[in-house]
């Protein structure tokens, strides 16, 4: 049983330090910008659910009142890639659908993160056939994999919390780094 009272997302590594001279008193505070940005992003992740089959049903349970993803600031789902920063891929992805998934990823604004929920999205699952993509990381970069067929809502929440850790600690400059650009280039994405 999960209780709705626990403010999971209130944990933060933001520390307020002494303000510089001339900028002290009411209305002033000093802290590291990247940590504040990380905290804000971490607690306001907007998912785009790309659900094609059974794992999507588990995600619906994750959004329901018992598990309540709203506790993590992630209750605002959207199917508009430009408004979302977390692509959640849940279900079997056929090779015909792979270009559509890739297009959705490309349309998302930076910074963006990706979770592969369940065996099918992560590796093709039991569908080792000519028509099924053997893991979405063949066409887009993935940040977190959630195992299971299907994963229970607790596992999906665990995946969201892993993403929150990445989001909170990511440098604000990572997206313009050479490493990140090379990662995108390796997928043929500019
Ligand atoms: S991993 Fe299992 S539950 Fe999830 S979409 Fe594939 S077959 Fe369905």
pLDDT, tens digit, 9 for 90 and up, residues 114-134? 999 999 999 999 999 999 999
124 lines ligand 1 (CB under 6 A): no
Task: Calculate Rg over the CA atoms of the chain.
Answer: 18
Tokens of 177: 């780094």
Taking the CB of residue 22, how many other CB atoms lie within 10 A of it?
Answer: 7
Instruction: Kindly provide the b/e burial profile for residues 106-137, where b requires at least 16 CB atoms within 10 angstroms of the residue's own CB.
Output: eebeebbbbbbbbbbbbbbbebeeeebbbbbb
Question: Rounded to the nearest 10 degrees, what angle do helices 33-42 and 153-169 cross at?
Answer: 160
- Residue 56 DSSP SS3: helix
Alpha helices in 3-131 (DSSP H): 33-42, 54-63, 98-107, 118-123
Which range has the worst mean pLDDT, 26-40, 56-70, 94-108? Answer: 26-40
Most informative mutation of 56, 61, 118 for ligand 1 (most atoms within 8 A of CB): 118
- Residue 80 DSSP SS3: coil
Give the residue, by CA position, lying nearest to ligand 1 atom 3: 150
Rounded to 5°, angle at Cα 71 from 70 and 76:
20
How far is residue 120's CA from residue 101's CA, in Å, rounded to a whole number? 14
Q: Are 149 and 117 in contact (CB under 8 A)?
A: no
What local confidence, expressed as pLDDT, does residue 131 receive?
97
Mean per-residue pLDDT of the chain? 91
What local confidence, expressed as pLDDT, does residue 112 receive?
96
- What does 118-171 look like in DSSP terms, one character per residue? HHHHHH-TT--STTB-S-GGGTS--SEEE-SSSPPHHHHHHHHHHHHHHHHH--
91 lines ligand 1 (CB under 6 A): yes
Tokens of 115: 């979770």
- The Å distance, Cα 122 to ligand 1 centre, comes to 10
56 lines ligand 1 (CB under 6 A): no
- The Å distance, Cα 132 to ligand 1 centre, comes to 12
92 lines ligand 1 (CB under 6 A): yes
* Ranges of each domain in the chain: 32-186
Give the residue, by CA position, lying nearest to ligand 1 atom 8: 54
pLDDT, tens digit, 9 for 90 and up, residues 75-88? 899 999 999 999 99
What local confidence, expressed as pLDDT, does residue 177 receive?
92
Tell me what percent of the residues of the chain surpass a pLDDT of 90: 76
Task: Indicate if the pLDDT at residue 5 is higher than 70.
Answer: no
14 lines ligand 1 (CB under 6 A): no
CA 48 to chain centre: 9
CATH of domain 32-186: 3.40.50.12280
Task: Indicate if the pLDDT at residue 9 is higher than 60.
Answer: no
Interval 157-173 mean pLDDT: 93
How far is residue 22's CA from residue 79's CA, in Å, rounded to a whole number? 47
């Amino acid at each position: 049983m999960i209780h709705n009272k626990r403010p999971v997302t209130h944990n933060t590594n933001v520390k307020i330090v002494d303000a510089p001279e001339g900028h002290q008193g009411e209305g002033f505070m000093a802290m590291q910008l990247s940590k504040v940005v990380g905290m804000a992003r971490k607690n306001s992740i907007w998912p785009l659910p790309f659900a094609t089959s059974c794992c999507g049903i588990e995600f619906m349970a994750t959004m329901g009142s018992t598990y309540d993803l709203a506790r993590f600031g992630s209750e605002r789902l959207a199917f508009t890639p430009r408004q979302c920063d977390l692509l959640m891929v849940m279900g079997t992805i056929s090779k015909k659908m792979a270009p559509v998934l890739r297009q959705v990823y490309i349309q998302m604004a930076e910074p963006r993160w990706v979770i592969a929920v369940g065996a099918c999205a992560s590796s093709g699952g039991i569908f080792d056939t000519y028509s099924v993509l053997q893991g979405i990381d063949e066409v887009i970069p993935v940040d977190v994999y959630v195992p299971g067929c299907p994963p229970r809502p607790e596992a999906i929440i665990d995946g969201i919390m892993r993403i929150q850790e990445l989001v909170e600690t990511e440098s604000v400059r990572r997206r313009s780094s050479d490493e990140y650009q090379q990662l995108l280039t390796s997928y043929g994405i500019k």
